[in-house]
Amino acid sequence: MKRTLSLAALTLLVLVLLPRLFGADPVLEITVDVLEPTDQPGEIDPGIKYLKEEMSRSPLKFQNYLNLATAFRSIPLNQTATIDFNLRRHLELVIIPKKITERTSRFAVTLRSDGDIILSSELTLVKKGTVMIGASGSPNLIIAISEGF
């Protein structure tokens, strides 16, 4: 009896395995959290416990952080991803991966708050690293960009 690949198995092979074999562009996987620092005591939001160590090293000492929004993105090398957060004000984050290696990810990032540029820079993160960007205003916000999900 002759064995044949099912359509599903063939599709999986084409979509997942072949790009890896032929050196397809790597993908930057990021998590973006929008946090509001507060002096109200309480437990840290379970969704951002992975940021607890980074927040404890911050020169800004707050008792707690409220998690206002979270976004996950997979962005191919040299492609542009725009992430919008419509909170008490409109935040727009534009990320373009420039170089992705096994140890680091370098990307261009632009952050706008209500249309005004807060940050436009190129950043390099180690795998599973986090960078936090402050967005002053009312309220003050912190945008945490983490490599990985």
Q: Is the pLDDT of residue 22 over 60?
A: no
- pTM attached to this predicted model: 0.77
Residue 145 tokens, joined = 């960009």
Residue with tokens 């099912």: 6
In a domain, 53, yes or no: yes
Mean pLDDT of the chain: 82
In a domain, 14, yes or no: no
Residue with tokens 């290696």: 101
Neighbours of 143 (CB within 10 A): 23
In a domain, 10, yes or no: no
Per-residue pLDDT tens digits for 80-131: 999 999 988 899 999 999 999 999 999 999 999 889 998 999 999 999 999 9
In a domain, 88, yes or no: yes
In a domain, 66, yes or no: yes
Q: Is the pLDDT of residue 21 over 70?
A: no
Burial class (CB in 10 A: 0-12, 13-18, 19+), 6: exposed
In a domain, 18, yes or no: no
Count structural domains, the chain. 1
In a domain, 19, yes or no: no
In a domain, 17, yes or no: no
Q: How far apart, in whole angstroms, are the C-alpha atoms of residue 94 and residue 111?
A: 7
**Which range of residues forms the domain containing residue 32?**
25-147
